[in-house]
Amino acid sequence: MNQLKQAPLDVVIMAAGKGTRMKSKLPKVLHRLAGRALLQHVVDRAGDLAARRVVVITGHGAAEVEAALKKSRDESSGFDLEFVRQEPQLGTGHAVQQTVPVLPDDGVVVILSGDVPLTQADTLRDLITACNGSHLALLTIDFADPTGYGRIVRSSTGGVQAIVEHKDATPAQHAIQEVYSGIMAVPSKLLKPWLARLDNKNAQGEFYLTDVVKFAVADGVLVVAHKIKDPLQVAGINSPVQLAELERAHQLRRADALMVQGVRLADPARFDVRGELSCGQDVEIDVNCIFEGEVVLGEGVKIGANCIIAHARIDAGAVIHPFTHIDGGSSNAKDQIVVGAGALVGPFARLRPGAKLGEQVHIGNFVEVKNSTLANGAKANHLAYVGDSVLGERVNFGAGSITANYDGANKHKTVIERDVHIGSNCVLIAPVTIGAGGTVGGGSTITKDTAPGVLTVARTKQVSLSNWARPAKKQ
């Protein structure tokens, strides 16, 4: 509305801490929640807020953290991403001091932690509104057990006076249940002089960012506490137990949101989305399914138990039977898997990048399809491999048959025109084309193109020998 709409937003993300309790070689902020690095979740929020600049403070595992973020960078957009290093790590105040040279003076700064992944963009927008371009706004929450957190100390009239860290708090202050979430919004031009005034005269010998509250009060700047009720939004990750708990809590929320839309989940506690899942009406999902990347399920799609589905579009009425693995590898149009309307896939089927199945296609148990297009009504029901192929309408691809698409150096294409019947246990050595309406006899190894409508058999003739005796065991 006012000033705030004009004040550019800069985001600072603290991510230099060690994460000792993860007991991992991987820097803490690169551990994954819902399939994405913790820090990536936080950076994504900065994107949602249309930040001008995002400054990530790195220290422990700095090179690895920076490389991971740069790698995922091209998909995200908008803001300008910078890293500053904090070495050694002398506290949260010391961390933010490192950003002073790269923070413009005309912005509002939102300070986030790389290990607090689930803060919602709307919450941060409200915090920025509370800052109003001129105040110090703190995100706070009441905890029944505030142990370990910085306490929000208020005056008798209710104004925020200070944040006192747990280790520095008096017994009376320990009883305060309102805690600082670690997230604040403040104009840069106020923050910078306060950072310069920090000291480390406290129980932990650290430079506390939270001491800026004292300076704000001393300078007559209004300190506003924006208190929220949702603990997941401020939950930090320090240990594998906390990571697993937050993952499950987050997944339950996603499950609830889908069920509210009408999706029927057999058990919301056995359901994982590690990307974006969108569902049409009357979708049913059985237990233990995992969805990765972008997955779209059309109306009435049924997913059996224990399926993993990644980067795929499954159209209306298709049924994916249990234990099926569908993985497009990436969401680009070439790789994305498409399962046509009314298709049946599985149990125990594997669809790999570039599998495009038309309507009513059937893919049965132990069938693998890679980089191939199967037109409407094509079937491969048992034990088969279809790779780098184009199958026409109603092709029936027999049990145990494969396309030999790889000659040891290059991949070649197989074309099977409409209404072809490939018998069982055939090897189609690519490049090869089977003409429309043709039949390939079981057990054939096909090396040459076949004409439309013909029966092709390529195997040795059957012989029966009547004057043959089975060898007898020597005495």
Q: Which residues would be at the binding site for Ca ion (CB under 5 A)?
A: 236
Q: Encoding tokens for residue 273?
A: 């989305």
Is residue 174 among the annotated active site residues?
no
113 lines the binding site for ligand UD1 (CB under 6 A): yes
Contacts of 405 (CB under 8 A, 6+ apart): 387, 388, 389, 411, 412, 413, 414, 430
To the nearest whole angstrom, how small is the minimum distance from the Cβ of residue 236 to Ca ion? 4
17 lines the binding site for ligand UD1 (CB under 6 A): yes
Residue type, 352: R
Cβ-based neighbour number of residue 442 at 10 Å: 16
371 lines the binding site for ligand UD1 (CB under 6 A): no
Using CB under 6 A as the binding criterion, the count of chain residues that bind ligand UD1 stands at 28
98 lines the binding site for ligand UD1 (CB under 6 A): no
149 lines the binding site for ligand UD1 (CB under 6 A): yes
184 lines the binding site for ligand UD1 (CB under 6 A): no
Identify the sign of the CA torsion 53, 41, 72, 63: positive
Q: Which of 166, 382, 412, 421 is catalytic?
A: 382
Residue nearer to ligand UD1 on the CB measure, 85 or 248:
85
Q: Would you give the distance in Å from CA 392 to the centre of its chain?
A: 35
Alpha-carbon distances of 28 from 20, 39, 150, 414, rounded to whole Å = 8, 9, 21, 47
Q: Which stretch binds ligand UD1 (CB under 6 A): 85-93, 347-355, 415-423, 427-435?
A: 85-93
215 lines the binding site for ligand UD1 (CB under 6 A): no
Residue nearer to ligand UD1 on the CB measure, 153 or 303:
153
Cβ-based neighbour number of residue 465 at 10 Å: 6
To the nearest whole angstrom, how small is the minimum distance from the Cβ of residue 140 to ligand UD1? 9
Residue type, 96: V
212 lines the binding site for ligand UD1 (CB under 6 A): no
Query: Largest Cα–Cα distance of the chain, in whole Å?
Result: 112
**Contact (Cβ atoms closer than 8 angstroms) between residue 275 and residue 294:** yes
Residue type, 100: V
180 lines the binding site for ligand UD1 (CB under 6 A): yes
Contacts of 291 (CB under 8 A, 6+ apart): 272, 273, 274, 275, 277, 309, 310
Element (H, E) at 137: strand 136-142
| Alpha carbon distance 126, 110 (integer Å) | 12
419 lines the binding site for ligand UD1 (CB under 6 A): no
Residue nearer to ligand UD1 on the CB measure, 90 or 390:
90
Q: Encoding tokens for residue 60?
A: 């422990």
Q: Which stretch binds ligand UD1 (CB under 6 A): 91-99, 284-292, 310-318, 440-448?
A: 91-99
Q: What's the count of helices (H) and strands (E) in the chain, helices before strands?
A: 9, 36
Select the binding partner of residue 49 from Ca ion, ligand UD1, none (C-beta < 5 to 8 A, by kind): none
Near ligand UD1 by CB under 6 A: residue from 49, 163, 320, 416: 163
Q: Which stretch binds ligand UD1 (CB under 6 A): 2-10, 84-92, 319-327, 381-389?
A: 84-92
392 lines the binding site for ligand UD1 (CB under 6 A): no
Active site residues: 382
- The contact set with ligand UD1 (CB under 6 A) reads 14-17, 57, 59, 86, 89-92, 94-95, 113-115, 149-150, 163, 165, 179-182, 208-210, 236
